[in-house]
Amino acid sequence: MCWISRHRSLEIRRVESWEDGRCGGTIHHERMFRMCLTLLLLAGGLALAEAPQDPLARAYEALRVRNYDTAIEGFLQAIQASPEKASIHKDLAYAYLKIGENELAREQFRIALEIEPADAHTAMEYAYLCYEGGEQAQARRIFDRLRRASNAAAAQAFHNVDVPLATGIARWKEAIRLGADNFSAHFELARLAEQRDELELAAREYERAWRLLPSRRTVLVNLGRLWMALGREEDGRAALLAASRGSETRAAEMARELMPDRYPYVPEFRRALELDPSNGELRRELAYLLLRMDRQAEAEREFQILTDTVPDDLLSATQLGFLRYARGDRDGAQPLFERVLAGKDNDLANRVRAVLRLPQVLKARDEPPASIDARIMAERSIKAGYLNDAVKYLDQALEADPSDSEVMLRLGWTYNMLHRDRLAYDWFRLARGSGDPRVAAEAGQAWRNLRPANETFRTTVWLYPMYSTRWRDLFSYGQVKTEWRIPFPVRPYASLRFIGDTEGAIGSINPIFLSESAFILAVGLATPTWHGITGWAEAGSAAGYLSGHMLPDYRGGISAARSLGHSLRAEAPGWFAGATLDGIFVSRFGNDFLVYAQSRLGYTLGPAAVRTQVYWNGNLTIDTQGQDWANFGEAGPGVRISSPVIPRSAYFSVDVLWGMYTASWRPPYRDVRIGLWYAFTR
């Protein structure tokens, strides 16, 4: 947006003579200039492009020479452009089969079948892969559907799948009738019945198997899933909730994936406890939920059940004692306090001593904290990939020691890995106040990294003072912009720009201003950036600090940016290319619409502390009204330099540019521009 006034001002130039008989040399230079500008704009176009022109043709060519990795990459790019074409998904599936990725191939056949349900060949391929992958029930359904349409191959495949299942079901039923009433018999019968789509039988046998061996909570997950499929949603949610709060980590993770994306309600907890009354973790969570809802009497009943059924649950005993003590039942609280004081949890015992106003007992130096078991379980869960379980254990560790900043930091990283950055941001914010310098530094850096995306209001500031030898003038551009980050397709913002220079104007009669020399205050709407593209529109007023005029100012447009290779802050040197493309409407320039294309191609070199970029510029500006000042091209070398003496987001730049107008016969010009770019976000 700042470039409007810049290019507008640079059309005011001191006329350069075409003397010394160098007309022929000028024509030669113009041809060289046009050639360099064309090459740079082509480089910029390559930088803006996100994919090859015809990835599908490239994929088939790679497939022809058996270069399957390249073919797969091409098919994936083609699917992004045309996801509705079933043929591309099928060809990608066959390419996956060539490299042994049967699961990926099965998924592509599934998508192709959704697009073209009547494609029997694709259905057969998908069904075979389902059978090989252990999804016999899905394979059987597809074979059954196809055999009913007189498909002989499907009929034979259905027979090969269905007959062993029916035989196995009959055999296990007979074994149970003869007395094999054990977990294995009921579980195997349920598994075979589910594969044969006998869901009522499968659910009944899964329930019997689980009641015989309640520690196998994966069976409870299967039971909940089948109840949901049978329309028994309340029973299904109860089973899944009970499994999600059990001691079997894998079962808990599987259950959470099938549960609704919300916290359970109290009636759902109660229904789950009716199904699984011995689930201590489930009952304890319900009790604390009731406490948060100020339903102390109900919470006390749940804690009473826990202390009666789980004598080692000192945390529940402590909480029950506190509840009784708070309502004046000190005689009822005393036995519970005595149990906690006689236990091995020194932290809980000291909490009781604090309530009873007894002296605290310090822990021995070699005594681990009460939360150590939960922290160990959290680390194991993270290493195994069970991140939701890790959150549960970290919450337990923090409940035992609310001041443990290390646990806060781990919670932040775990939520970050779960892509729940808002929660991660809050935990990093708490952990950065730690007294441990290492924890505080790590949490502070993570908090700063997440801050731009999680702050409700985000303020960005950029400044660009620049000296031009062509005008022998110092120009300055800047903007302060505060955006309200709301979850909508557009976000409102307020902006204050400054555009000015030190020369002010040329000439005393009919002075010509070299810049807008104004502060522009505006409010507007902008879209979130998507693939480097942003749309925006704003309305405001421009206050000229030299002219003293207030003029309405309406602007809007689309900006796109793309870069490839090694940036100025990259870890290693290397080639880079970058391009920006801006289309901008400005009411104050006669309702003109301008397009700016800027490209750079070069090499990043030097150590990380003093990184330098050497590049070639190619710039082109055009407008819809054909004004001579708004139609020109520029090309020339440039250099950018970062330094440890300036902020990381700042750099010096020097550009030597040759320019020529494309809508008039004004003479070419040369300019050396020396600038300092600086930007930051708060």
pLDDT at 9: 38
pLDDT at 370: 45
pLDDT at 261: 80
pLDDT at 8: 38
* pLDDT of 655 strictly over 80: yes
pTM of the model: 0.46
Q: Which fold has domain 3-10+457-681?
A: Porin (2.40.160)
* pLDDT of 11 strictly over 50: no
pLDDT at 366: 46
What are the φ and ψ backbone dihedral angles of 560, each rounded to 5 degrees? -135, 140
Residues with Cβ within 8 Å of 343's Cβ and at least 6 positions away in sequence, in order, are 314, 349
> Hunting for tokens 């899964």 — which residue is that?
206
Burial class (CB in 10 A: 0-12, 13-18, 19+), 2: middle
Neighbours of 665 (CB within 10 A): 7
- Render the burial of 67-96: b for 16+ CB within 10 Å, e for the rest: ebeebbbbbebbbeeeeebbebbbbbbbbb
Q: Are 559 and 582 in contact (CB under 8 A)?
A: yes
391 — pLDDT class (breaks 50, 70, 90): confident
pLDDT 10s digits, 177-189: 888 888 888 989 9
Please give the structure tokens belonging to residue 559: 């900006």
Q: Are 398 and 417 in contact (CB under 8 A)?
A: no
* pLDDT of 621 strictly over 90: yes
pLDDT at 215: 82
Separation of alpha carbons 224 and 625, rounded Å: 68
- In the chain, where does the domain assigned CATH 1.25.40.10 lie? 372-454
Neighbours of 625 (CB within 10 A): 13
Separation of alpha carbons 63 and 75, rounded Å: 10
Q: Give the CA dihedral 13, 19, 25, 27, nearest 10 degrees.
A: 60
- For residue 237, give the 3-state DSSP assignment: helix
Distances from the Cα of 95 to the Cα of 85, 86, 557, angstroms: 16, 14, 43
Separation of alpha carbons 50 and 650, rounded Å: 28
pLDDT 10s digits, 231-269: 999 999 999 998 888 777 778 888 888 888 888 888 999
pLDDT at 452: 66
581 — pLDDT class (breaks 50, 70, 90): very high
Q: Are 131 and 161 in contact (CB under 8 A)?
A: yes
- Render the burial of 274-294: b for 16+ CB within 10 Å, e for the rest: ebbeebbbbbbbbbbbbbeee
pLDDT at 405: 85
Residues with Cβ within 8 Å of 380's Cβ and at least 6 positions away in sequence, in order, are none
pLDDT at 600: 94
pLDDT 10s digits, 47-92: 444 444 478 888 888 887 778 888 888 888 888 888 888 899 999 9
Give domain 372-454's CATH superfamily: Tetratricopeptide repeat domain (1.25.40.10)
pLDDT at 504: 66
Per the model's pLDDT, the better-predicted residue between 593 and 529 turns out to be 593
The percentage of residues in the chain with a pLDDT greater than 70, rounded to a whole number, is: 87
Burial class (CB in 10 A: 0-12, 13-18, 19+), 23: exposed
pLDDT 10s digits, 490-547: 889 999 999 888 876 655 545 555 677 889 999 999 998 877 789 999 999 999 877 7
Neighbours of 253 (CB within 10 A): 19
- What average pLDDT does the chain have? 82
Separation of alpha carbons 60 and 183, rounded Å: 53
* pLDDT of 372 strictly over 70: no
SS3 per-residue string spanning 54-102: CHHHHHHHHHHCCCHHHHHHHHHHHHHHCCCCHHHHHHHHHHHHHCCCH
- In the chain, where does the domain assigned CATH 2.40.160 lie? 3-10+457-681
Nearest to 320 by CA among 351, 293, 364, 287: 287
Residues with Cβ within 8 Å of 548's Cβ and at least 6 positions away in sequence, in order, are none
